[in-house]
Amino acid sequence: MCSGRVDLEFVLRAFSNGMDGVFIGGCHLNECNYITHGNYHALNMALLCKKIMEHTGLNPERLRISFMSAGEGILLAEYVNDFVKKIKELGPLGKSEGIDRDELKSKLKEIRKLVPYIKMVKNEKLGTRLLNAEEYENFFTREEIDTLFREVISYYIDPGKCQACMICAKKCPVEAIEGGKNRIHVIDQDKCIKCGTCLEACPPRFGAVKKIAGEPVPPSLPEDKRTIVRKGKEK
C-alpha cells in the first residue's frame, strides 16, 4: 500500500486505541511508483500529526516516518528496532507525559472529529514537496496548530432566514443537517465535519448559513419551534 494512503485519522485512531507508538514506512522520496508521489503527502501528514501530538501533550517521538526501498530489508529492520527501543524508553502512552488515559482518549476523540476540517484547511501544505530535511521541523509550527484549534470554524443556520428548501440538507456529505419540508433546518454540530458545503449550497437570496470562527455556536432552535407556517396557509 502506498504510504500516501496513511490517513491522519489512522494515526490518531491508533493512539486513541492505546498504541504506544506508530511507525510509517514509505518508499524513498522521489522514487514513488505513482505520479501522485504519495510519500511526500505521508511525510507532511506525519509532520502535521507530530505538531498535533504536541498540542495534546503527547511526545511527538511516538510517531516516526522513515523511507526505504523494497529491497532494503536490513535497513527496515534497523529502523524498526531503533523505533521500538525508543518507545520502550518512553514507556506506555501518556505515562511519561503525565496524561491520564481517559483524558487523552477524550482529547483525541475531539481532534479526530476535526480531521476532515484539518485536512481541508491544510490541504495546500499537505500537497507540498519538501526537498530538504532542514525544512521538516518548522514546516508546521506549534503556534500554527494552536491557532488552528483555537479558531475552529463552525456553521450555523439562522432560523430567521431558513426557508426549509432542503438544498443544504441534500448536499451535506455526512447528513449532519436535520430538517424537512416546512421545517427549519438545524446543523448537528457533533456530526458536522466543517467542510462548508452547506454555506456554498444555501441560495444567496436566503443567506441562512453563517460561518462562525472562534466563537460558540448559538443554541439550536427547540423542536416545537422549527415549523414554518407559510403566509398562504395561515389560519
Give pLDDT, residue 113. 87
Give pLDDT, residue 233. 52
Q: What contacts 24+ positions apart, CB below 8 Å, involve 35-38?
A: 36/2, 36/4, 37/4, 37/129, 38/2, 38/3, 38/4, 38/5
Question: Domain 153-233: which CATH class?
Answer: alpha beta
Residue 111's identity, in one-letter code, is I
Find out whether 149 and 55 touch, Cβ atoms under 8 Å.
Answer: yes
Low-confidence ranges of the chain (pLDDT < 50): 235
Alpha carbon separation from 13 to 56, 183, 192 (Å, rounded): 14, 37, 19
The pTM of this model reads 0.82
First to last CA, the chain: 64
- The answer for residues whose C-beta is within 8 angstroms of residue 75's C-beta and 6 or more apart is 68
CA distance 147 to 135: 21
- The answer for residues whose C-beta is within 8 angstroms of residue 45's C-beta and 6 or more apart is 6, 7, 8, 11, 126
Give pLDDT, residue 235. 47
CA distance 159 to 36: 44
Give pLDDT, residue 53. 97
Q: What contacts 24+ positions apart, CB below 8 Å, involve 160-164?
A: 161/206, 161/207, 161/208, 162/206, 162/208, 162/228, 163/206, 163/208, 163/228, 164/228
**CB count, 10 Å around CB of 131?**
10
Write down the residue that cell numbers 484547511 correspond to: 121
Domain boundaries, the chain: 3-150, 153-233
Residue 22's identity, in one-letter code, is V
Q: What contacts 24+ positions apart, CB below 8 Å, involve 105-110?
A: 105/16, 107/56, 107/57, 108/12, 108/15, 108/16, 108/56, 109/16
